[in-house]
């Protein structure tokens, strides 16, 4: 097991280097002058000599390879730069918004797993019946309906019409219900579809029929044997969905004015705060990679044969 973990950790090194290279390249592929983008509205009225001086101050007059090595060294020291808009470090900005994103992602994935697993298992056990068709229809709606549209419908019903829940913002648990339900319902659709497909395949295996022939209780066969062996692809989908939510559910956070990383990234792009955009994208990508690593390690826990492969 230790060898497997070390091999996976070593494999992350080139991936993370590639991420830092892409994030660094964002400054140069974005339209316009990087210095003008950093200065924003304050760039108006600055003469060319002052701009060249600022380029030297920011190190933008040096070769790209040297700039990238300096950027990589700063990242390795935990320095992601300083936000142009707020004057605070990018690490401090991310740390301020991260708890809200983790709260929303955790609540949303809890709802998604509960709904998705339940629909998938029931649909697989009752395949070909109206229950199966209904579960597939619900999953299809979850995939097809945009998150921002379902969020707006929830706001109209529960906030404006019934006045049960607040429409936006963060505070009590009541503020969390609608945004978590919006992203949870969307993610549950993918989990339900994968769970149903995997369960149907496992239920056709010989060992499942043998367990039924031995007279084992149906619940033990379905949950103890079939569901456990059908979880590997489900874990993959859950990991991918949670990794994407760690980046901030941009649409959900924007619709419900949720102060998370996704909304911060949108605001940084609008104000052309390049250091904050770079740092946020790098943080999100690193988090997504680490979540995928945990998913890979969970494979080894669920299926010991993977360790030897």
Average pLDDT over residues 152-164: 86
CATH superfamily of 98-265+285-308: MetI-like (1.10.3720.10)
Q: Would you tell me how many other CB atoms lie within 10 Å of the CB of residue 82?
A: 18
What average pLDDT does the structure give for the chain? 80
Range among 45-54, 98-107, 221-230, 299-308 rated most confident: 98-107
CB-based contacts of 115, cutoff 8 Å, min separation 6? 184, 185, 188, 191, 192
Cβ neighbours of residue 278 closer than 8 Å, sequence gap 6 or more = 23, 24, 26, 27, 80, 81, 90
> Which pLDDT score is estimated for 53?
74
**Residue 143 pLDDT more than 80?**
no
pLDDT of residue 31: 66
Query: What is the pLDDT confidence band of residue 26, given thresholds at 50, 70 and 90?
Result: confident
| pLDDT average, residue stretch 2-21 | 80
Is residue 183 within 8 Å of residue 108, measured between CB atoms?
yes
3-class secondary structure, 16: helix
Cα→Cα distances 218→33, 129, 139, 229, 244, Å: 66, 19, 25, 16, 36
Give the residue, 198 or 60, on which the prediction is more confident.
198
Measured CA distances, 143 to 77, 140, 152, 182, 292 (Å): 41, 5, 17, 12, 22
The pTM of this model reads 0.81
- Give the residue, 34 or 56, on which the prediction is more confident: 56
Give 39's pLDDT tier (boundaries 50, 70, 90): low
Q: What is the pLDDT of residue 248?
A: 56
pLDDT score of 259: 86
Return phi, psi of residue 294, to 5°.
Answer: -65, -35
């Amino acid at each position: 097991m230790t060898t497997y973990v070390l091999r996976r950790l070593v494999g992350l090194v080139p991936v993370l280097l590639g991420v830092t290279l892409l994030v660094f390249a964002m400054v140069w592929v974005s339209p316009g002058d990087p210095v003008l983008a950093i200065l924003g509205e304050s760039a108006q009225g600055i003469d060319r000599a002052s701009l060249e001086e600022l380029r030297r101050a920011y190190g933008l007059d040096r070769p790209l390879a040297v700039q990238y090595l300096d950027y990589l060294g700063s990242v390795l020291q935990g320095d992601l730069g300083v936000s142009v808009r707020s004057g605070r470090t990018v690490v401090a900005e991310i740390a301020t918004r991260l708890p809200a994103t983790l709260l929303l992602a955790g609540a949303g994935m809890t709802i998604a797993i509960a709904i998705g697993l339940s629909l998938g298992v029931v649909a697989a056990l009752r395949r070909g019946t109206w229950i199966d068709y209904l579960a597939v229809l619900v999953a299809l709606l979850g995939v097809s309906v945009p998150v921002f549209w379902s969020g707006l419908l929830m706001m109209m019903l529960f906030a404006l019409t019934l006045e049960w829940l607040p429409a936006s913002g963060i505070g009590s648990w009541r503020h969390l219900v609608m945004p978590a339900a919006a992203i949870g319902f969307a993610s549950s659709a993918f989990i339900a579809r994968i769970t149903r497909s995997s369960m149907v395949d496992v239920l056709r295996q010989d060992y499942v029929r043998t367990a039924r022939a031995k007279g084992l209780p149906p619940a033990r066969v379905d949950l103890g044997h079939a569901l456990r062996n059908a979880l590997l692809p489900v874990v993959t989908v859950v990991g991918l969905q949670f990794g994407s939510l760690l980046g901030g559910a941009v649409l959900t956070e924007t619709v419900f004015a949720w102060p998370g990383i996704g909304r911060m990234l949108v605001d940084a792009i609008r104000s052309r705060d390049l250091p904050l955009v770079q740092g946020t994208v790098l943080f999100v990508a690193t988090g997504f990679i680490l979540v995928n690593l945990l998913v890979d390690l969970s494979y080894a826990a669920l299926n010991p044969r993977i360790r030897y492969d």
